[in-house]
Every structure is written in C-alpha cells, then in structure tokens.
Amino acid sequence: MAAPTTTAPAPPGRRRSVTGTRRTVAALFLLPALVLLGALVVYPIGYSLIRSFYNASGDGFAGFDNYKAIFTDDGIRTALKNNIIWVVFAPTVSTALGLIFAVLTERVRWGTAFKLVVFMPMAISMLAAGIIFRLVYDQDPDKGVANAVWVGVHDTFAQSSAFPNAHPGRESPLKADGGGFITTATVHTGRTVALPLVGVAPDQMPDGAKKAVAARAEPGKITGTTWQDFTRGKGVGRLGAPDPSELGYSGMRIEAVKDGKVVATAKAAGDGTFTLPAAADGARLRLPASNFKQPYNGVDWLGPSLVTPAIIGSYIWMWAGFAMVLIAAGLAGVPRELLEAARVDGATEWQVFRKVTVPLLAPVLAVVTVTLMINVLKVFDLVYIIAPGSSQDDANVLALELYRKGFSEGQPGIASAIAVFLLLLVIPVMWFNVRRLRREERR
C-alpha cells in the first residue's frame, strides 16, 4: 500500500483564500473601491475634523471654540433638542406602526395590496414628500387637507358664526358692547324693535336666510327684526326699514338684558323676525359676541409649537412602510408551531403577540429601530422644505443647522464641528447595529 502524500504549505506570500484567489489579486480588485471609499468618506471626515479646529476664514486656530458653540449657540441648542425629539419618537412610532401593519396584514386576504399602498411612499423622494406635506399642512382649509378635515369635524360639533363681519350701520340703534352690540334704549312690550346691521357679503349669508320683513306688534310681547340693511345701488333702499331685496339674519341670537342679567333670549327666524316674552319689558336688547366670532380656521400645523410633530408625521408616513416590510420578512421566519402551541395552551391573541411574537421579532425590531435612528439623525430635506421661514428656527435640526452655518452664515468651522458631532452620535448606534448583526450570524 502506497504511503499517503502530503502537500507542502504554500509560502506566506503566496497564500490563497478558500476560493483559491491570491491575496494580492483580491487586493487589486478591492483597490478601486478602497480609493473611492478614501476619497468620498475618509478624506471628507479627516478634513472636517481638522477644519473644525479653525476659525471661519480657516487661517487661525480656534481650538475647541467651535465645539463650545454647539452647546452655547441658541440655534444649535434648539436643533439639538429637536434632534432628541426626532430620535425618540420618529423611529419608535414608525417601528410600532410597521409591527402592527405586518402582524395584521398576515390575517387578511388583501394584505399584499395593503402592504403595497403603505410601502408606496418609499418610492417618493424626500423633496416630493416635503412639497406634498407643505400643501397638506396649509393653514387655509380650502387648500390644506389636514385643516379641511379638522375644520369639518370642529364645525360638526361647534357651528361657526355666519356674521363675523356684521356691524351697525348709519343711524343704528345699536352700539358696541364687549364684542357684541346692544341697544342704546330700553324696549317695551307691544312695540316692535329694528336691529339693522351691515357688513355681510350676500354670498356669505346663511342658507336659511329669507327676505326680511318688518315685525308686527303683539300685546304683551316684544317683536322685532334683525337684517342686512343694505341694498346695492346709490340712493336705493331705506335706512332702518327692511327693503324687498334685503335678507334677514337667520339664526341671530338676541338677549334681553336687565340690570346686567339676561332675562330672556330669542333666535331670529329666516326672515330675521324674533319674539321676546313680557319678561323682557324694560330691558335692553343685546346681540352677543357669539354671533360675530370669526369662523374656525383650523390648527396652525406649521406654527412654532406644532411644526416639529407635523414634520415627524410626514417622516412616519414615508418610513412606516419600510419598517413594515422588514418586520414582515422577519415574521415570515417565525416558527408557526410556537404560536399554535401558545394558543393550544390557552393564550389569548394579545398574549401570543406580546409574549411570543414580539420576543421572537426582537432582533428584527432592534435592527429596524437602530436603522431609523441613524436615518433621523441626518434628516434635512423634510425640515428644510416643510417648515416655513417664520417657524424654521423652531423646527431646526442639526443637519439643517450644519447647512445654514456652512452656506448661509459663512461659518464653516462651526459647520465642520456640527458634522463631527453628528458622526460621533451615529458611531455608537452603528456599532450597536454591527454587534447585533454579528451576534445573529453566530447563531
């Protein structure tokens, strides 16, 4: 029997990989990528680090002054505070919604179509999404979808006044009174009262408004008319008396006030007429301020207090689909035997979700959350486009402040310091992500 032959190990300089490729050949193939990586990543990082220690002109050493500005400059501190809000809420809400969508769509027949619709915003650029949501959050309910819905819901429960611009005209018996109007003289039973007003455009009159008529006197009661005392055309119509073309103030509220107390109330009919009981005798009639309040115009979504949550909402709209797709992929790998075993043991669907599904998906949830955290630290486009100039300072984030310092305010030293600071914030998150991925590979 022949003795087994052994192959001598290759010299260290000629060692091959498991695929048979020499290290020198592999290095040559990697060289273009390494050159690009150095030119596009390593060099800019190194230059930014060095530039962050110099003044605005770049010819004087500034030490750590640029880094001190990060924590003393009001604009940068606002940006830092907003970045914290972004990191806490945007990834958390996006991941939570992605988890809910992924779990629920597994149980419906049209789940694939739903996933497609939710994921579709990812196909839109940040620029386009910013323009879309700038229109969505427009203050005018006739333009902004958010305020159109909000105003519609509000007006369902609290109807706005139809007479926001109404006011007494010439020779009127009314005078101003705390946002409303009140008669200068007292009223008495058996007599009629005229309460003329002007200032409401014909196309803004209430739907129930009819041609105004003069009220008829009734014994033991006070009757009157409130109407739009204006007729188009010079010298046309009579002051203080309803004309054929003039409309009544349908729904106008009238209060009888005596000794500072409201003793009776009435509501004008479509033709503007109203009737008060004998208790109003000797009182003055008041048209309260509620008749003239301005119509509800919705929420100032892009105002100083709500601009950051509003922009975060647009980010969630874009990235919840990304989280859903990754979580759904992880959910597809969950052993169904474990879920069925939990149900057989008597666990409710909520208990199965909380104690079985979520723990099994923990690695995927962590990867999604950390990826989104890195993403929101760099958010720039949405804030720059959605926030109007009047509230951009309130919505400021570090990436936007870097741009403003470097290109608008001519302070590249501080901009470089912000860039280095952002890198330092991202590195721990990336390190955590890499560690988790390596741990998963070992399993």
- pLDDT value, residue 18: 53
Model confidence at 6: pLDDT above 80: no
* Closest-CA residue to 291 (of 258, 267, 274, 260): 267
Cβ neighbours of 170 (radius 10 Å): 9
Q: Which residue has the tokens 């009001």?
A: 74
Mean pLDDT of 416-435: 86
| Rounded CA separation 190/218 (Å) | 5
Quick: pLDDT tens for 36-75. 988 888 888 898 899 889 888 888 888 888 888 888 888 8
More confident residue, 159 or 335: 335
pLDDT at 439 over 90: no
Residue 7 pLDDT > 80, yes or no?
Answer: no
How far apart, in Å, do the first and last CA atoms of the chain sit? 44
- Compute the average pLDDT of residues 230-244: 76
How far, CA to CA in Å, does 121 sit from each of 32, 126, 246, 301, 325? Answer: 35, 10, 53, 21, 13
**Longest alpha-carbon distance in the chain:** 138
Handedness of CA 353, 356, 359, 364 (dihedral sign): negative
Q: What is the DSSP string of 109-123?
A: TTHHHHHHHHHGGGG
pLDDT at 1: 46
pLDDT of residue 95: 95
Q: What is the pLDDT of residue 235?
A: 57
Per-residue pLDDT, 48: 87
* Closest to 320 measured CA to CA, from 110, 109, 91, 106: 91
On the question of pLDDT at 202 being above 80, the answer is no
333 pLDDT band (50/70/90 cuts)?
Answer: confident
> Who's near 127: CB < 8 A, 6+ residues apart?
381, 385
Whether the pLDDT of residue 128 is over 60: the answer is yes
Mean pLDDT over residues 230-250, rounded?
80
What is the secondary structure of 51-110 as a DSSP string? HTTB-SSSSSB-TTHHHHHHHH-HHHHHHHHHHHHHHHHHHHHHHHHHHHHHHHHTTSTT
pLDDT at residue 8 above 80?
A: no
If pLDDT is split at 50, 70 and 90, which confidence band does 234 have?
A: low
| pLDDT mean over 154-180 | 82
Is residue 154 over pLDDT 90?
Answer: no
Range of weakest confidence among 81-95, 224-238, 289-303: 224-238
pTM for the full predicted model: 0.74
pLDDT higher than threshold 60 for residue 371: yes
> How high is the pLDDT of residue 42?
87
Residue with tokens 């001519």: 410
CA atoms within 13 A on the CB side of 402: 21
Q: Percent of the chain scored above 70 by pLDDT?
A: 93
